Structure 1
Amino acid sequence: MTTKLGLGIPMPLLAPSTATWAIPFAAYYIFLQNRVVLHRLSTKTYMGDNSSPSKSTSDPLYKSSRCQVNFIENVPLALMVALLAELNGANRTYINYGLGALFALRVSHAEFGVMSEGSLAMGRPVGYYGTQAVITGLIGYVGYLVQGYWST
């Protein structure tokens, strides 16, 4: 698989699976970011969220901000580990399954968990624990792929 740079120079695709999944992750992040901005503008809250701890599970700005922050806390690490796996010879099918599952889990966590009434719907623990499992699996896979490097 190759692509052509702007000059028509053939260049091998180094990590097409990770690159492909970066597109929906980036698009969903933009959605999360715009939802926060929408709530900031509608409430004229330009810094912070002005929610009290007792009202935070019902405050749309607070919940939107948490969805965005939770996403940005987990997804970059997962994409970096997936990229390292792919660059070190990972089976691209495994990368696609892992990142596809991660995308579904992050959407589940935000849309069917944090954004739900009371922020405690089933999507939240499923998304959280599933995300941890995917990242752990990717890390283990990278370790497996590079194990020969440390034993020589």
Structure 2
Amino acid sequence: MGIILPVTLTAAAAAAIINIWLSLRVGQMRQATKTVHGDDAGGPLTRRMRAQLNFVENTPFVLVLIAAIELSGRGNPWLAWVAGLYMLGRVAHGFGMDAETGTKPRMIGVLITMLALLGLAAVAVLIAMGVM
């Protein structure tokens, strides 16, 4: 018996690891700023918290779309590449959020996220319409 939804399983595992990494970065900044509860009013802790929350806001949609496309049987081999690129973009965004001003890693992460969401949504609609 083959593995069911290997791309989705791999992407979900990568997402869990990235979320742990982002969470640890928040914890490190909490210790550095001695902020037990809440945030630091727009400082480095807030930026790291937003990086993690932004990840949590977008990743479920990406994972659902990846799973639906994979279940339809129309995701080989490009779907794994999109999933991997999305995860790399989210790591870049996490690093980019450390700066007080906009950075290339943050911009790249945002662009990859938006393109992945838009592209996966478009493919899902085309599959649902029977075009793909």
Instruction: Select the structure that is richer in helix.
Output: 2
Matched ranges for 1:19-98 at <5 A: 19-51=9-41, 56=42, 59-98=43-82
Q: Which residue of 2 aligns with 1:135?
A: 117
Unaligned runs of 5+ in 1: 3-11
Q: Distance in 2 between matches of 1:66 and 1:104?
A: 17
For this pair of structures, how many residues does the alignment match?
131
Aligned-residue offset at 1:72: 0.5
User: Within the alignment, does 1:15 sit opposite 2:9 as a pair?
Assistant: no
Q: Distance in 1 between matches of 2:126 and 2:73?
A: 11
Amino-acid identity (%): 30
Measure how far apart 1:30 and its partner are: 0.4
TM norm structure 1? 0.78
Distance in structure 1 (CA, Å) of the matches to 2:36 and 2:92: 27
5+ long unaligned stretches in structure 2 = none
Amino acid corresponding to residue 98 of structure 2 in structure 1: M
Return structure 1 stretches of 4+ with deviation > 6 angstroms: none
Larger Rg: 1
Q: Is the 8 A contact 1:18 1:86 kept in 2?
A: yes
Output the amino acid matched with 2:111.
Answer: Y
Alignment of 1:109-128 (within 5 A): 109-111=93-95, 113-116=96-99, 118-128=100-110
Structure 1 position 145 matched with structure 2 position 116? no
Partner of 2:92: 108
Aligned to 1:7: none
The two structures, once aligned, show a CA RMSD in angstroms of: 1.8
Letter matched to residue 25 of structure 1: A
Q: Spell out, residue by residue over 1:46-92, the C-alpha distance to the aligned partner (whole angstroms, 9 max, x if none).
A: 221132xxxx2xx3211210110111111111011111111111223
